[in-house]
């Protein structure tokens, strides 16, 4: 039982550590904003094609 | 780079020609981890928002939704250089603002004909103007007031400086004047471009700020009524709102608006619900007065753009309806009092104490953090934060009608741009005295005639009062007309040539953010 708990705690700790390292790297180097800035032009092109009833 | 205020060269984070910054700020271990935790919180809100199919549909239906890709960067721009309690105060404000806007949009898209199309829910929504108090909805606990223009226009420009240029161009293609205020012009442009969600039992418009607003409201109301069958009410609050003679008329407008909502929704006005909000609204006002009181001392704590944006949300959009905001207010006061006792400063040196007056450049609200970080000019309070601090009745229905009339007359911006020269011009010098300010940064919104007409009088009276006056010329929501760099140049020139001062952070004096969000 004790072994099992230790194993689970270990796995959770590893997952938490990996999550922290990846997410902190994304945060600090602003990778989230760099990615969204890169995809925005494609989304703009999409919106140019959306049908709208433009009128006063 | 470090935990001390002013230890990072903030200008080095900019990337010329790019939309975003090189990296986020290093604020020392404790503050960086705290900032990281708030970033995670923001990402969590955005992630949860995108798990809803209505919201995903809206993302691919409405062009302005793309601006919300920049939410984390907006928070970064407004927390630049902050450490310790000041960073925590700013995040307490923005956490709640982000949550509230996400909730507002989720409600809109649930009811919207183009996305969720929940017709029963749609009947519970009342459309409000962007720049309008939501206070009338306090007496209708089963209804929700929703400003379609808040996410589509107002918040969009906070997020990306060129967010509404497309809609301004659309409005002008359809013959609307090019020299009108870009805010109502963009709002009308969204309507013309068929880019507003369609929902609601009725719409309550108000003669909020100017003739431009009336123009925009006319275009929007016509489409709402003729095409979508959504009835509109025009709440015409008096212009000279400080005069006793207009108050009975103002109160009657409130009664008419209540009757209109009752007729359209079948709901009945509930005084118990109203007074519950009124108590909370008064409590929020008392917290704000504490912050303003601190700003009269040598150690101001809750100031600048963050105070303005938060006040706009609490005073106008919330109006006592959401208990979480009062809780946040109390937390902010606690943090601020702690810093005040310790005599903590927001930037390493306070060289000038400034009142920020006029209508802010919506595409550059982080101009105020720039002022403090670059030149040590402390933006104590701005015109938009100087709203009514009058306590409203918590138990008298007769008085409450007049209180509501007072609030609608004294909405943010309207309380100064309407009401004559006394509230716009004369009051400013009183605030300079109250807050011991030696400087006024005067936004000159070039399309706002109500303000521009006073240009010469402001200059003349600033000289008389011995106040240093710096004009910051802008075009509210159109950075193509006056870019952000030009606003900074207005200040740089004055600081260099008139005051002969050197910047606190020289890396911020000349920065290339023309293409930045």
Between chain A and chain B, the number of residue pairs with CB atoms below 8 A apart is 66
Suggest the residue from B19, B47, B198 to mutate for an interface test with chain A (most A CBs closer than 10 A).
B19
Confidence of residue B423 (pLDDT cuts 50, 70, 90): very high
Instruction: Tell me the average pLDDT across B470-482.
Output: 97
B517 contacts A37? CB cut-off 8 A: yes
Instruction: Tell me the average pLDDT across B147-172.
Output: 97
- Is B225 buried (19+), middle (13-18) or exposed (0-12) by CB count in 10 A? middle
Instruction: Write the Ramachandran bin of B435: left for phi over 0, alpha for psi from -120 to 50, otherwise beta.
Output: alpha
The answer to whether B166 faces chain A, any CB pair under 8 Å, is no
Instruction: Write the Ramachandran bin of B411: left for phi over 0, alpha for psi from -120 to 50, otherwise beta.
Output: beta
pLDDT for the residue B155: 96
Nearest by CB to residue B20, choosing from A34, A47, A53, is A34
Q: What is the 3-state secondary structure (H, E, C) of B446-487?
A: CCCHHHHCCHHHHHHHHHHHCCEEEEEEECCCCCCCCCHHHH
Q: Can you tell me which residue has the tokens 């060129």?
A: B162
Instruction: Tell me the average pLDDT across B431-448.
Output: 96
Bridge-partner residues for B108, per DSSP?
none
Q: Calculate what percentage of chain B has a pLDDT beyond 70.
A: 100
A30 contacts B20? CB cut-off 8 A: yes
pLDDT tens for each residue of B368-378: 999 999 999 99
**Integer angstrom CA distances of residue B334 from B3, B92, B302, B382:** 22, 12, 11, 22
pLDDT tens for each residue of B258-306: 999 999 999 999 999 999 999 999 999 999 999 999 999 999 999 999 9
Q: Residue B209: pLDDT above 70?
A: no
The answer to whether B468 faces chain A, any CB pair under 8 Å, is no
Reported ipTM = 0.95
Nearest chain B Cα distance for residue A12, angstroms: 19
A40 contacts B19? CB cut-off 8 A: yes
Instruction: Tell me the average pLDDT across A1-11.
Output: 92
Question: For chain B, how far is it from start to end, CA to CA, in angstroms?
Answer: 24
A52 contacts B20? CB cut-off 8 A: no
B19 contacts A37? CB cut-off 8 A: yes
Average pLDDT, chain B: 96
Instruction: Tell me the average pLDDT across B309-324.
Output: 92
Whether the CA torsion B476, B481, B487, B493 is positive or negative: it is: negative
Tell me the whole-structure pTM to 2 decimals: 0.96
Q: Residue B206: pLDDT above 80?
A: yes
B22 contacts A30? CB cut-off 8 A: yes
The answer to whether B193 faces chain A, any CB pair under 8 Å, is yes
The answer to whether B1 faces chain A, any CB pair under 8 Å, is no
Q: Residue B434: pLDDT above 80?
A: yes
Q: Can you tell me which residue has the tokens 């003729």?
A: B226
Q: Residue B469: pLDDT above 90?
A: yes
Which residue, among B60, B85, B90, has the nearest Cα to B306 in the 3D structure? B90
Between B103-117, B167-181, B261-275, the lowest mean confidence (pLDDT) is in: B167-181
Q: Calculate what percentage of chain A has a pLDDT beyond 90.
A: 93
DSSP state of B65: G
pLDDT tens for each residue of B53-66: 999 999 999 999 99
pLDDT for the residue B130: 84
């Amino acid at each position: 039982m004790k072994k099992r708990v230790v194993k689970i705690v270990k796995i959770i700790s590893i997952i938490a550590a990996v999550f922290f390292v990846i997410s902190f790297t994304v945060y600090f180097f602003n990778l989230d904003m760099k990615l969204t800035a890169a995809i925005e032009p494609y989304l703009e092109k999409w919106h140019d094609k959306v049908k709208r009833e433009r009128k006063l | 780079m470090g935990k001390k205020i002013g230890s990072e060269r903030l200008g080095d984070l900019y990337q010329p020609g790019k939309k975003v910054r090189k990296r986020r700020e290093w604020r020392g271990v404790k503050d960086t981890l705290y900032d990281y935790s708030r970033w995670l919180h923001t990402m969590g809100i955005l992630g949860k928002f995108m798990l809803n199919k209505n919201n995903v549909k809206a993302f691919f239906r409405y062009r302005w939704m793309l601006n919300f890709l920049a939410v984390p960067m907006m928070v970064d721009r407004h927390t630049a250089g902050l450490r310790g309690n000041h960073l925590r105060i700013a995040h307490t404000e923005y956490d709640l603002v982000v949550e509230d806007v996400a909730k507002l949009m989720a409600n809109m898209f649930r009811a919207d004909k183009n996305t969720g199309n929940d017709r029963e829910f749609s009947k519970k929504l009342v459309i409000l103007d962007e720049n309008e108090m939501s206070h009338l909805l306090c007496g209708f606990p089963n209804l929700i007031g929703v400003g379609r223009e808040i996410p589509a226009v107002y918040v969009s420009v906070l997020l990306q400086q060129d967010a509404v240029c497309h809609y301004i161009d659309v409005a002008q293609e359809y013959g609307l004047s090019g020299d009108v205020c870009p805010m109502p012009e963009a709002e009308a442009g969204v309507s013309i471009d068929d880019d507003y969600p369609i929902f609601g039992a009725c719409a309550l418009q108000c003669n909020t700020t100017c003739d431009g607003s009336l123009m925009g409201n006319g275009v929007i109301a016509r489409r709402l009524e003729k095409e979508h069958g959504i009835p509109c009410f025009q709440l015409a609050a008096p212009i000279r709102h400080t005069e006793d003679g207009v108050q009975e008329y103002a109160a009657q407008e409130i009664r008419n608006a209540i009757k209109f909502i009752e007729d359209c929704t079948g709901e009945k006005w509930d005084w118990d619900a109203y007074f519950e909000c009124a108590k909370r609204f008064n409590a929020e006002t008392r917290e704000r007065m504490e912050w303003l009181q601190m700003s009269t001392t040598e150690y101001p704590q809750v100031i600048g753009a963050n105070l303005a944006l938060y006040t706009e949300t609490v005073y106008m959009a919330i109006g006592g309806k959401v208990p979480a905001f009062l809780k946040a207010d109390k937390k902010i006061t606690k943090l601020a009092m702690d810093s005040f006792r310790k005599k903590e400063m927001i930037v390493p040196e306070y060289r000038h104490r400034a009142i920020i007056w006029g209508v802010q450049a919506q595409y550059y609200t982080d101009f105020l953090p720039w002022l403090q970080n670059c030149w040590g000019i402390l933006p104590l309070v701005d015109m938009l934060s100087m709203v009514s601090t009058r306590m409203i009745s918590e138990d008298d229905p007769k008085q409450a009608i007049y209180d509501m009339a007072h609030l609608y007359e004294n909405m943010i911006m309207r309380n100064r741009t309407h009401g004559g020269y006394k509230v716009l011009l004369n009051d400013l010098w009183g605030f300079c005295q109250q807050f011991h300010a030696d400087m006024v940064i005067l936004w000159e919104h070039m399309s706002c005639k109500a303000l521009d007409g006073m240009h010469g009088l402001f200059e003349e009276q600033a000289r008389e009062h011995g106040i240093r006056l710096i004009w910051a010329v802008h075009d509210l929501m159109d950075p193509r007309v006056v870019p952000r760099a030009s606003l900074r140049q207005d200040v740089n020139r004055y600081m260099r040539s008139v005051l002969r001062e050197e910047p606190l952070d020289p890396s911020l004096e000349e920065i290339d953010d023309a293409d930045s969000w």
